[in-house]
Structure 1
Amino acid sequence: MKLSLCAIVKNEEARLAKCLNSAKSIVNEIVVLDTGSSDRTIEIAQNLGAKVYQFSWNNDFSTARNEALKYVIGDWVLVLDADETLTPKIKSQIRQVIEMPEYILVNLLRYEVGANQAPYSMVSRLFRNHPKIKFSRPYHAIVDDSISEILRKEPDWQIGHLEEVAILHEGYQQEVINKQDKFAKAKAAMEGFIATNPHDPYVCSKLGALYVESGKVAEGIELLQRGIASKQSNMDLMYELNYHLGIAYTRNQDIRKAVSYYQAAIKLVVMPILKLGAYNNLGNLLKALGDLRSAKSAYEMTIRIDPNFVTGHYNLGMTLKAMGLFMDAISAYQRAVQLNPHYADVYQNLGVVWLKIGNQKASLAAFNKAISLHEMNNPKEAIRLRQGLEEMGLL
């Protein structure tokens, strides 16, 4: 089976080479649709062997993605954005799965680089070059609607998924969002769509979450609840709607209701790794309510799902410290700094626990490490911590 990489781009000279090179060894062609670059994007794509086509941007991602599909000649299509890369480990699995005759779509697991919570999502980015597959929705364009329509008429097809992380995404880091004004672009595109599709659960979820993030909590809650009430959502989308309602009610200080939505999200039958954010946020709320035992169980579930989830180890350490289980807390903190040696808050809390059990030498070493890390990213906290240690006679 021949595999085509398909991407739409604009002014991506800084990231495009990394993206295309990550997949170049497993694809048979690279199709790049440029939507008006004024930098070296086109030159870079052509130098890497891509077929480059031009398209006038019209504020609709689905239109652009469908235009790009017109030029694909492979049997399967892999879609990446310039701020995404394919993981090396997934390449052999992709090659194997596209040889399986039963699949029309294979969902891929995406990891948000730098995300502190909910870092995983399933994305429909690997599919057959079927004439009826097309993207829909102007922002967060997806092929899922057309796939559902095909399955109604051709029920023998199946949808699969790969459980290993396939795509690394760097586009949702805060500095990238701010630079590219992503929230404003997303809001404008989705508000236009929801005006004529008021009960679309996918856009209710995405736009509702965006409203909550931007402070329009009441509007966000209304949209998220509308998405659930539509009864058109699949399990993954139902999880997302409940998860974002948990965030929304936390913003409203309605902790009990937030807990109920996180618990509803966790009960849904979706891949465990997608539940990471709900378990972590639930743990935070339970800890705030004083239910340390239940919070501990929630955090333990996060690291059972993903042993490399640094935030889970840190939060578990904080809970164990609050429970007076100091040696267990030290173990949790040490695992967190093994995974992320630059996590200043972990060293700071590790210093506190070492001090509580009387190991002043280890405590001072941890505090000094925290100070050196804070000096790079949070100088005020470094000064505050140093002054506190001096007042205690430790420095």
Structure 2
Amino acid sequence: MIKLSLVMIVRNEEKKLERCLKSVQALVDEIVIVDTGSEDSTLEIAKAYNVKLFQYPWNNHFSEARNFALSKSTGDWNLILDADEWVTKGNRQQLNTIMDNQQAIGRIRITSSFFDGEESYTHCYTSRLIPRGIFYKGRIHEQIDSALPRVDCELEVAHDGYYKTDKSERNLALLLSEIQDYPDDPYLHYQTAKEYYGISDYENANKHYVLSYTYLSGYENYYPNVVVDYLYNIMKYGNMQKGLEIIQSEETRMRDFPDFYFVCGLFYMNLVSSDVSKYLHLLLQIQSNYIKALEIGETSKYLTVEGTGSYAAAYNLGVFYETTGDTQEAIRYYKEAEKYNYRPALNRLAALNH
């Protein structure tokens, strides 16, 4: 019988830990929790679930803390979760199909909620089910240090750790420290850029997006996300000409990524609005990019923002048609977005009396 352990590191998670443990206790044979200095009731909550509990002095290094926790596991396999995550779908039998038959790393589907003017969601598959003897590397945004193949599990997890919270100060300090040791690492520069973007420091974000984009080999699984997020930052920071160059050079590589065409639609909308006389000839690029996003549809291949291949693209296309005077087409696409109960579309249809 294969033994599966849940392995966690926690600190001051009294508001979320029980939700996580309740969701996973039927899936695992052992729960290993390493606490890095809680000052609330986290430890008492953990003890109520009969966990193996250890203390680890926090040293600003996520991988070292995770690897200490992994060293305390007695499982043949380890499932890695954080306290702000909880299982929403899946069962042990499905996990056994991975653990019984494959020497591989299991990827679980994580849906993360965030607030960007409205509640939004990203979806991605992340490596979290690992055989004994596999460990992590990296001070922050740590990654599994293994060349084993990745396979997708039928396990779905929700995550709300970045919903209306600000961890940028802590994250930036760790990332900038790591960059001193690995100045040419595109992943570190990408994560640093995202942190600066999150606090609206678009100038510093741009510096790190440039470095990340420069150091990319082209084979990274996060390459498409660097391109898309770089374009979002360019719209905030400026240098739209650079954005045009990126779009033109990356379209072939991004041909199956709805988020790319979605951001291109926004980009051309901003570009045309900035100087109508100069960029009017690009007006139809707004339309064509949103249509391409809809043709691709939602994807599970990449880390993606929900709606870029469905309701958000349909709504923006409706706005385009309404703005250009084609009310019937606007209504058509608002109704497509309405199928997802997308409130902005409902509001526009109400305003148009449909």
Common fold: TM-score over 0.5:
yes
**What residue number does 2:345 align with?**
346
**What residue number does 2:127 align with?**
124
**What residue number does 1:65 align with?**
66
The alpha-carbon deviation at position 248 of structure 1 amounts to 2.0
| Identity score, percent | 25
Tell me the distance in 2 between the aligned counterparts of 1:346 and 1:251.
25
Tell me the distance in 2 between the aligned counterparts of 1:7 and 1:99.
23
* Structure 1: tracts of 5 or more residues without a match: 152-156, 355-361, 363-395
1:166 aligns with 2:150: no
Aligned 8 A contact 1:75 1:129 in 2: yes
**What residue number does 2:39 align with?**
38
Aligned 8 A contact 1:243 1:262 in 2: no
The alpha-carbon deviation at position 170 of structure 1 amounts to 0.6
Tell me the distance in 2 between the aligned counterparts of 1:5 and 1:113.
23
**What residue number does 2:201 align with?**
216
Tell me the distance in 2 between the aligned counterparts of 1:258 and 1:90.
44
Residues 75-129 of structure 1: per-residue CA shift (max 9 Å, x gap):
11111111111221476543322222232x1223322124666712332212111
Aligned 8 A contact 1:86 1:167 in 2: yes
Decide which moves more: 319-328 or 217-226: 319-328
Q: Which has the larger share of helix?
A: 1
Aligned 8 A contact 1:302 1:309 in 2: no
**What residue number does 1:387 align with?**
none
Aligned 8 A contact 2:12 2:40 in 1: yes
**What residue number does 1:300 align with?**
294
Taking structure 2 as the reference length, the TM-score comes to: 0.82
| Shift in CA distance, 138/304, structure 1 to aligned 2, threshold 3 Å | closer
The alpha-carbon deviation at position 328 of structure 1 amounts to 4.5
The alpha-carbon deviation at position 310 of structure 1 amounts to 3.8
Aligned 8 A contact 1:204 1:223 in 2: yes
**What residue number does 1:281 align with?**
263
The alpha-carbon deviation at position 228 of structure 1 amounts to 3.3
Tell me the distance in 2 between the aligned counterparts of 1:40 and 1:84.
18
What SS class does the counterpart of residue 25 from structure 1 fall into?
coil
Q: Which has the larger share of strand?
A: 2
Taking structure 1 as the reference length, the TM-score comes to: 0.74
1:235 aligns with 2:220: yes
Query: What are the residue-to-residue correspondences of 1:243-282 with 2, within 5 Å?
Result: 243-261=228-246, 267-268=252-253, 275-282=257-264
Tell me the distance in 1 between the aligned counterparts of 2:189 and 2:92.
34
Query: What are the residue-to-residue correspondences of 1:358-369 with 2, within 5 Å?
Result: 362=354
The alignment of Structure 1 onto Structure 2 pairs a total of residues equal to 331
| Shift in CA distance, 325/76, structure 1 to aligned 2, threshold 3 Å | farther
1:189 aligns with 2:174: yes
Tell me the distance in 2 between the aligned counterparts of 1:53 and 1:220.
38
The alpha-carbon deviation at position 243 of structure 1 amounts to 2.0
Higher relative contact order (CA closer than 8 Å, sequence separation 6+): 2
Tell me the distance in 2 between the aligned counterparts of 1:333 and 1:48.
48
**Paired residue type of 1:171:** G
**What residue number does 1:315 align with?**
316
What SS class does the counterpart of residue 60 from structure 2 fall into?
coil
**What residue number does 2:165 align with?**
176
**Paired residue type of 1:294:** S
The alpha-carbon deviation at position 337 of structure 1 amounts to 4.2
Tell me the distance in 1 between the aligned counterparts of 2:59 and 2:249.
39
Aligned 8 A contact 1:29 1:74 in 2: yes
